[in-house]
């Protein structure tokens, strides 16, 4: 099949690499000014702005059988136009919900899924009223275009609120969230095929540095049956209620075993990269399988698996020479804090996995050195 991907970043790269193995062909839709380094050599790249009408874009993409996305910030009108010509998966409606924090939180609430307490400023309350209702600390996030901690503000006290309120005129639509006093952050990668077959990966435990994912450990430690059941219920509810097709990623807060959804991504996710080297069907392969109506493959690793992001740095030869380390390099230029690759590691037991992640972190991110 021919598959077109909206976006040209590392997720598009890894989707295409997985799909090439299965004999699929790819084309890519590039936004103006978007770097296409990651997908060089993997298929034709079409500049969105050169084709204002969906039929012309569909032709330029090589008449794909399926259009999918590697990011949520894609024009829904464009996807709807392409949906007249071929399958678009996930659906434009799922992408419309997930690209806006307000719509996403409201959709979760309507399905009875717990989130952080929140107020949407579009609905009328002022920033002041919303923060007073939710209390400090409060997280203020732009409804759109936020990632890796961008476009969000942590308000600890009335002074920080006043400083942000002073810029209100120039701020985008916002959602305010009360702080969740979580013990840890988890995520689940879930997949559903065109025919409705589902597969869930084990919960990952994620650690961040400066608001950016640094490591994932799989399966997350000490998950009770009740917590696992909550996660499975959340994932299945979303997949089934939305008739979702493809991989859906769910970021979760774990508060003493009770889960709240932090955010959703209608795509493969950084916290699922471990699956490339863990003896399972990777999240990338399962996304391709799901959107080409193939039953999802195995999601349960036999070993403990870990992932460490390479943020603005290249690992040295000694680190890469370790037998348990696999490099995934995105062929981007290295800039401070930029995700330029990741390494995956596996171990027979959890203690060994944690030791390896600690060793790799010490080698890559020496104590005290900024990202
Ligand atoms: N309501 C909240 N309570 C506590 N911590 C939060 C809350 N919202 C966000 N955070 C912290 O900030 C991080 C980034 O927020 P998130 O909404 O996931 O944005 P991004 O799109 O940048 O990943 C989260 O992973 C979490 O550590
Ligand atoms: Mg997040």
Distance in angstroms (rounded) separating the CA atoms of residues 161 and 173: 16
Candidate from 100, 118, 139, 151 with most ligand 1 atoms within 8 A of CB, to mutate: 139
Output the pLDDT for position 124.
61
Output the pLDDT for position 85.
98
Residue 190 DSSP SS3 = strand
d(CA 283, ligand 2 centre) in Å: 18
Residue 181 DSSP SS3 = coil
Ligand 1 touching residue 177 (CB < 6 A): yes
Output the pLDDT for position 368.
78
Ligand 1 touching residue 319 (CB < 6 A): no
CATH of domain 2-88: 3.40.50.20
d(CA 60, ligand 2 centre) in Å: 34
Token pair 């084309």: residue:
27
Distance of CA 192 to the CA centre of its chain: 16
CB atoms inside a 10 Å sphere around CB 116: 20
Minimum-distance ligand 1 atom for the alpha carbon of 146? 21
Which residue has its alpha carbon closest to ligand 1 atom 11?
Answer: 211
- Kind and range of the H or E run holding 142: strand 138-142
Ligand closest to 137 (CA) is 1
Ligand 1 touching residue 242 (CB < 6 A): no
Distance in angstroms (rounded) separating the CA atoms of residues 112 and 86: 33
Task: Identify how many contiguous H helices and E strands the chain contains and give both numbers.
Answer: 11, 18
Q: Which residues contact 4 (CB under 8 A, 6 or more apart)?
A: 26, 27, 28, 29, 61, 62, 64, 66, 67, 68, 82
CB atoms inside a 10 Å sphere around CB 88: 27
Ligand 1 touching residue 104 (CB < 6 A): no
117-178 fold: Dna Ligase; domain 1 (3.30.1490)
Output the pLDDT for position 123.
59
First to last CA, the chain: 41
Ligand 1 touching residue 116 (CB < 6 A): yes
Output the pLDDT for position 187.
98
Q: Quick: pLDDT tens for 221-243.
A: 999 999 999 999 999 999 999 99
Ligand 1 touching residue 145 (CB < 6 A): no
The residue ranges of the chain whose pLDDT is under 70 are 123-125
Q: Are 16 and 43 in contact (CB under 8 A)?
A: yes
Output the pLDDT for position 171.
77
Output the pLDDT for position 189.
98
Mean pLDDT of the chain: 96
Judge if pTM exceeds 0.85: yes
Ligand 1 touching residue 55 (CB < 6 A): no
By the CB criterion, residues less than 5 angstroms from ion ligand 2 are 251
d(CA 137, ligand 1 centre) in Å: 12
Output the pLDDT for position 149.
77
Q: Are 194 and 245 in contact (CB under 8 A)?
A: yes
CATH of domain 184-364: 3.30.470.20
d(CA 262, ligand 1 centre) in Å: 7
Output the pLDDT for position 327.
98
Would you say how long the chain is, in residues? 371
Domain ranges of the chain: 2-88, 117-178, 184-364
Output the pLDDT for position 167.
83
Output the pLDDT for position 151.
86
d(CA 250, ligand 2 centre) in Å: 9
Ligand closest to 146 (CA) is 1
Output the pLDDT for position 165.
86
Q: Quick: pLDDT tens for 243-265.
A: 999 999 999 999 999 999 999 99
What are the CA-CA distances from residue 100 to residues 74, 174, 210 (Å)? 11, 10, 23
Q: Which residues contact 101 (CB under 8 A, 6 or more apart)?
A: 141, 142, 143, 144, 146, 175, 263
């Amino acid at each position: 099949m021919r598959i077109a991907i909206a976006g040209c970043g590392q997720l598009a790269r890894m989707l295409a690499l997985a799909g090439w193995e299965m004999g699929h062909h790819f084309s890519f839709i590039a936004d103006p000014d978007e770097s296409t380094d990651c997908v060089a050599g993997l298929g034709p790249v079409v500049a969105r702005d050169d084709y204002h009408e969906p039929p012309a874009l569909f032709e330029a993409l090589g008449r794909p059988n399926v259009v999918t996305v590697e990011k949520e910030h894609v024009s829904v009108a464009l996807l709807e136009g392409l949906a007249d010509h071929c399958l678009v998966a996930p659906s434009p409606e799922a992408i419309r919900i997930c690209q806006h924090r307000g719509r996403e939180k409201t959709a979760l609430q309507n399905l009875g899924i717990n989130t952080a307490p929140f107020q949407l400023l579009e609905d009328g309350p002022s920033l002041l009223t919303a923060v007073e209702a939710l209390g400090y600390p409060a997280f203020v996030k732009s409804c759109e275009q936020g990632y890796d901690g961008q476009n969000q503000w942590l308000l600890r006290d009335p002074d920080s609120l006043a400083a942000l309120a002073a810029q209100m005129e120039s701020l985008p639509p916002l959602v305010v969230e009360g702080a969740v006093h979580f013990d840890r952050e988890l995520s689940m990668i879930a997949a559903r095929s065109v025919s409705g077959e589902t597969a869930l990966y084990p919960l990952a435990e994620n650690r961040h540095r400066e608001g950016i994912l640094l490591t994932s450990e799989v399966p997350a430690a000490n998950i009770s049956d009740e917590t696992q059941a909550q996660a499975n219920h959340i994932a299945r509810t979303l997949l089934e209620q939305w008739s979702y097709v493809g991989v859906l990623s769910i970021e979760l807060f774990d508060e003493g075993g009770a889960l709240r959804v932090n955010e959703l991504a209608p795509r493969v996710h950084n916290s699922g990269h471990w699956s490339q080297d863990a003896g399972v069907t990777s999240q990338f392969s399962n996304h391709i399988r799901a959107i080409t109506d193939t039953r999802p493959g195995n999601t349960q690793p036999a070993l403990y698996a870990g992932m460490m992001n390479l943020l603005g740095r290249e690992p040295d030869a000694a680190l890469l020479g370790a037998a348990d380390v696999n490099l995934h390099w995105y062929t981007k230029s290295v800039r401070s804090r930029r995700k330029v690759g990741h390494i995956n590691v596996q171990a027979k037991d959890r203690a060994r996995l944690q030791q390896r992640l600690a060793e790799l972190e010490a080698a890559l991110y020496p104590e005290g050195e900024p990202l």
